Amino acid sequence: MEMVDIDSAKEGMIIIKEILNEQGNVLLKEGTALTKDLISKLKSLGISEVCVENPEKNGSPDNMSSAVSTELKELEYRFSNVRGDAIMEELMAAVKEYITEKGSSDGIH
């Protein structure tokens, strides 16, 4: 976990502390993967830093669309407290396959 300056924030980083506006409303909930659009939006709203998970763990395989890679990173975050449990690993594998297959069929149309 690390606070990073918004200018150093990169696509794919996972937000681990929700980002609120001045009124206390949630702009981004924890577990959201940053995208280029989101980073620009946060900058335009005056957000100067964000709390992210393992900032060095960034990037995705070249053959994967960025939307799918974002969804998979968010999935890893949601399951992070139950890793190692056999049933949960099975369930997580099913979600992973579902996201990946959906992503590739979305790409065809």
Cα 37 to Cα 11, 33, 69, 91, distances in angstroms: 9, 11, 15, 31
Is the CB of residue 36 less than 8 Å from the CB of residue 11? yes
Strand partners, 26: 20
Length reported for the chain: 109
- Kindly tell me which residue out of 8, 40, 93, 104 binds other proteins, with binding defined by CB under 8 A: 93
Site for other proteins in 33-92 (CB under 8 A): 74-75, 77-82, 85, 87-88, 90-92
Neighbours of 60 (CB within 10 A): 16
Kind and range of the H or E run holding 10: none
Residue 25 found at the interface with other proteins (CB under 8 A): yes
- Kindly tell me which residue out of 24, 56, 61, 109 binds other proteins, with binding defined by CB under 8 A: 24
- Kindly tell me which residue out of 30, 47, 55, 66 binds other proteins, with binding defined by CB under 8 A: 30
Of the two residues 11 and 30, which places its CB atom closer to other proteins in the complex?
30
DSSP classification of residue 17: S
Residue 17 found at the interface with other proteins (CB under 8 A): yes
Residues interacting with other proteins, by CB under 8 A? Answer: 16-18, 20, 23-26, 29-31, 74-75, 77-82, 85, 87-88, 90-95, 97-98, 101-102
